[in-house]
Amino acid sequence: MSPQQIQLMKLLQIPTASLEQRIKEELEMNPALEEGSEDFEENSSSDEETYAEETLREDSIEGDESSRDDELDLAEYYRDDDVADYKTRGDKYNDDEEDRQIPIKVEKSFQETLADQISMLELDERQEQIAVYIIGNMDDDGYLRRDVKAMVDDIAFSQNIETTEEEIAQILESVQSLDPAGIGARDLQECLYLQLKRKLDEPEMENNTVLKTAIRIIKEFFEQFTKKHYDRLARMVEVSNEELKEAMEIILKLNPKPGNTFSSNSGGKQYITPDFFISNSNGQLVLSLNGRNAPELRISEQYKGMMEAYDKSKTRSKDQKDAVMFIKQKIDSAKWFIDMIQQRQMTLLGTMETIMNFQKEYFLTGDETLLKPMILKDIAEITRQDISTVSRVANSKYVQTEFGTIPLKYFFSEGITTDSGEEASSREVKAILTELIEAENKKKPLSDQKLTKLLQQKGYNIARRTVAKYREMLNIPVARLRKEL
């Protein structure tokens, strides 16, 4: 591919949110490129021309230098009759998203929140430093998964504090008393135990037998609990099925990731910027491009004026020629970049329009069972584009519909042949699979083999391994782990 094609492929791949930054970089690198429309007031043009003439009216050398470079046709660089060719904003853009500021929610991280609570602990200054170090080593889920021995060596090196494994364990116990309960646990079992223990310390709960049963399950029979061997667990704990069910309800309400209690634990929320908008106007689908995908770019009037002043100048020096060659290069680069942005818009709209027409029934109804099997090759053949181009358009792009903001990749899926010989989308099969699992008897959940038979009865020719694959893609556990009391 040519350098221009490579750059176009790169521009196609980046989403709307990143396009603004890419344009900003180009504006900083190329002074001949400006952001804004091509509409100017008359006095503005004359001011630019005056400035250009003064810039190029330097010490000129008459003679041989003036007779050279006449072969350069510079008129095309300052004529305004081709302005429309370089306007990047098309007809199908959406002005609703013109606010360019992305809201960022500023909050404290859970490590900072825990550090603020340290003053409530009965620790001296040295111990507080160790406590802060322990909190800083917790992961985003609120767990402390670092080896204590390694922490002893690290704190001696980084903080110049001599300590022992025993002291760190003792201070960790104090840190674990902070909110939220379960923070600072080494594993899931300890995390759940710490939360149950905190509940038991409440005056009204100290004699709660169900809570004590829950603590015993986590402390002594954690393996049976994780494998959901309920019958065996009831016998081992020596309780009835009803008492076991009550204890399980308490456990299932606990938070396995206490660090996630703080919304900013991952450094802030992520906001999705849609690249396309699809609306339903009386049964007709209307597609538009996000306004940020169609920025208004133009060639600098100042640079155009400098080219015109040079072209009309009777005396031309070598320095002037070097300057005008530099200006010409920058204007060429600016025109090329504007053209790439325009091609990006046309490719995005053309590809999305083909996807919209292909999946028209879905965009009209929002019923995912109406999604047709569609692969990259299908869209590439209709648009007469390379598969890699379609892939780049679909990558990291979102479309806002009446049914939510959806990634373009969602609409691509393989097909499964039904008994009637028709092609059914894997999305449709997954939707039916989810319905079957949601409707199952949770005391006797359906195995993959039973799910396969039910799908086959509905006319879908599908193998058990495919059902297992779809179930895993839907993050649905195996039947044994879906079992409830």
Q: Are 195 and 163 part of one and the same domain?
A: no
* Cα dihedral: 247, 248, 252, 258 (round 10): 50
208, 214 Cβ separation under 8 angstroms: no
416, 426 Cβ separation under 8 angstroms: yes
Enter the tokens of residue 58: 């330097």
Eight-state DSSP code of residue 371 = P
Question: Is 434 within a domain?
Answer: yes
Compute the distance between CA of residue 392 and CA of residue 459 in angstroms, rounded to an integer: 35
* Closest of 117, 135, 224 to residue 179, by C-alpha: 117
Give residue 376's identity as a one-letter amino acid code. L
Give me the pLDDT at residue 419, please. Answer: 60
Enter the tokens of residue 48: 């630019």
Question: Is 291 within a domain?
Answer: no
Q: Are 114 and 169 part of one and the same domain?
A: yes
Q: Are 481 and 418 part of one and the same domain?
A: yes
Choosing from 254, 271, 297, the residue where a domain stops is 254
Compute the distance between CA of residue 233 and CA of residue 206 in angstroms, rounded to an integer: 23
Q: Are 172 and 202 part of one and the same domain?
A: no
Measured in residues, the chain has a length of: 485
Q: Are 173 and 205 part of one and the same domain?
A: no
Q: Are 120 and 169 part of one and the same domain?
A: yes
Q: Looking at the 3D structure of the chain, how many domains does it have?
A: 3
Enter the tokens of residue 217: 């399950």
Report the Cα 117 to chain-centroid distance in Å: 33
pTM, to two decimals: 0.52
Q: Are 165 and 111 part of one and the same domain?
A: yes
Mean pLDDT by 10-residue block, N- to C-terminus, for the chain (485 residues)? 74 80 84 69 45 46 42 55 50 54 56 83 88 88 88 86 90 90 91 91 83 90 85 86 87 87 51 88 90 74 74 71 80 85 89 94 87 88 90 88 89 69 70 88 88 86 86 86 77
Give me the pLDDT at residue 422, please. Answer: 57
Instruction: For residue 415, list its beta bridge partners.
Output: 425
Q: Are 192 and 174 part of one and the same domain?
A: no
Choosing from 231, 254, 277, the residue where a domain stops is 254
Question: Is 386 within a domain?
Answer: no
Question: Is 218 within a domain?
Answer: yes
Question: Which residue range(s) make up the domain with 129?
Answer: 107-180
Give me the pLDDT at residue 7, please. Answer: 74
Q: Are 156 and 212 part of one and the same domain?
A: no
Choosing from 254, 278, 298, the residue where a domain stops is 254
Question: Is 430 within a domain?
Answer: yes
Q: Are 171 and 199 part of one and the same domain?
A: no
Beta strand spans in 30-102 (E):
33-35, 93-94
Question: Is 282 within a domain?
Answer: no
Question: Is 299 within a domain?
Answer: no
304, 77 Cβ separation under 8 angstroms: yes
Question: Is 78 within a domain?
Answer: no
Give me the pLDDT at residue 421, please. Answer: 55
328, 71 Cβ separation under 8 angstroms: no
Q: Are 153 and 119 part of one and the same domain?
A: yes
Instruction: For residue 280, list its beta bridge partners.
Output: 285
CATH number of the domain to which 466 belongs? 1.10.10.60
Q: Are 423 and 456 part of one and the same domain?
A: yes
